[in-house]
Amino acid sequence: MDVHRVPSDFAQWWTAFLRQWKFYIRTSRFLGLLVFVLIVTVAFTGVTLYLHDSGTSAADYLYGAAGEIGIFGIIIGAFIGGDAIAMDFGSGTGYFMLVLPVKRLVILLGRYAAAFVATLVLIVVYLVVPLLGGIYFWGVTGIPWVDLGESFLLAALYGLAVLSTAFFFSALFRSTAVSMVATILILFLGFLIIDSVVGTSLGYEPWFSLLYAGSVVGLPLVGQAHHTVQHTAIGAGRTLTTHLWYPYVWEGTLILLAYFVIFLVLSAVVYQYKESKG
């Protein structure tokens, strides 16, 4: 075989992407997530429309769906990307893939692209059902399309940021099961706790939190105050002070971009230097 006939990095990336995409959409994990997202979004839309108040605007209604992308995005991204790299070191996949004449970075980017498309499909499914409900009640012209488009782009960027983070954590582990569980716990519970302790209780803006940045997704539809302080009486003359934080749109966008780039680069570095010692 002529050495020079090995395909270009781009052609190999395309192969990695297509095969990984085929792999993802056939997994019970993806199909399970699809069913889960459908149940949640249909339930949300049904309940919201059942309780429909004519005073509610289409933007408020859609914000109800887009505003929850933060949590769902993390669940989706963690399940899709939680073992993306660990699979090469915890199972025999690496012995099949990493002995081929293809750069690890190319394999990683192919997998990343496939994971992103899979995540995007789930996000679209999550958003399209409430959108159809919105069109039913407010008509096509009643939908704030530009704001919704901006919100969707932010959701896509959020998906990239979550995947980069999930890929990074998956690169740290060798067992696919441990990697998946750890990624879900870190992304889901970890950021919830950080937001709650640092932001809500201590009153510091949790600008370093992925979940906090993810709350930017719904903001193009309905603006929120950057910082709100609430004092609640809890008896015996005492009050509980809580802080509510929303990022500015530019700020949330920058944080998501930072997560996307930094963790993707870190994933690539760890993957490049990780050895198949098992």
Partner 1 sequence: MVRIEVEGLTKRYGYTGSALALDSVSFEYDGAGAIGYLGPNGAGKTTTLKILTGLLRPTAGVARIDGIDVREHPKRALANVGAVIETPEPYPSLTVSESIEMVSEFRGGPIPNIAQEIGGLHEKLDLPPLDQRTGRLSKGQRQRVVIAAALVRNPSVIILDEPTNGLDPKERILIRNLLQELKKDHLILMSSHLMQEVTEICDQVIFINQGKLLLRDTVENVAARFQSRAVDVEFADSLPLDRLSKLGALVRTVTPLSDRRYRLAFDGTMATRARILSECVEIAPVVTYESASLALEDAYLSLMQANNGGLPPPPRAS
Residue 100 contacts partner 1 per CB under 8 A: yes
Q: Are 154 and 163 in contact (CB under 8 A)?
A: no
Distances (CA, A) of 241 to 202, 226, 234, 237, 269: 9, 16, 10, 13, 43
**Interaction mask 45-74, partner 1, x per CB under 8 A:** ------------------------------
Q: For partner 1, which residue of 10, 22, 46, 240 counts as binding (CB under 8 A)?
A: 22
Burial of 136 (0-12, 13-18, 19+ CB in 10 A): exposed
Minimal distance, residue 1 CB to partner 1, in Å: 5
Residue 92 contacts partner 1 per CB under 8 A: yes
Q: For partner 1, which residue of 10, 27, 202, 228 counts as binding (CB under 8 A)?
A: 27
Cα-trace Rg, the chain:
21
Residue 248 contacts partner 1 per CB under 8 A: no
Residue 128 contacts partner 1 per CB under 8 A: no
Number of neighbours of residue 124 by Cβ within 10 angstroms: 15
Q: Rounded to whole angstroms, how far apart are CA atoms 264 and 256?
A: 12
Nearest to 73 by CA among 156, 180, 169, 171: 156
Q: For partner 1, which residue of 67, 81, 94, 133 counts as binding (CB under 8 A)?
A: 94
Number of neighbours of residue 27 by Cβ within 10 angstroms: 13
CB closer to partner 1 out of 26 and 52: 26
Residues forming beta bridges with residue 106, ordered by sequence position: none
Span of 37-45, 95-103, 126-134, 173-181 interacting with partner 1 by CB under 8 A: 95-103
Q: List residues near partner 1 by CB under 8 A.
A: 1, 3, 5-7, 11-12, 15-16, 19-20, 22-23, 26-27, 91-96, 98-103, 273, 275-278
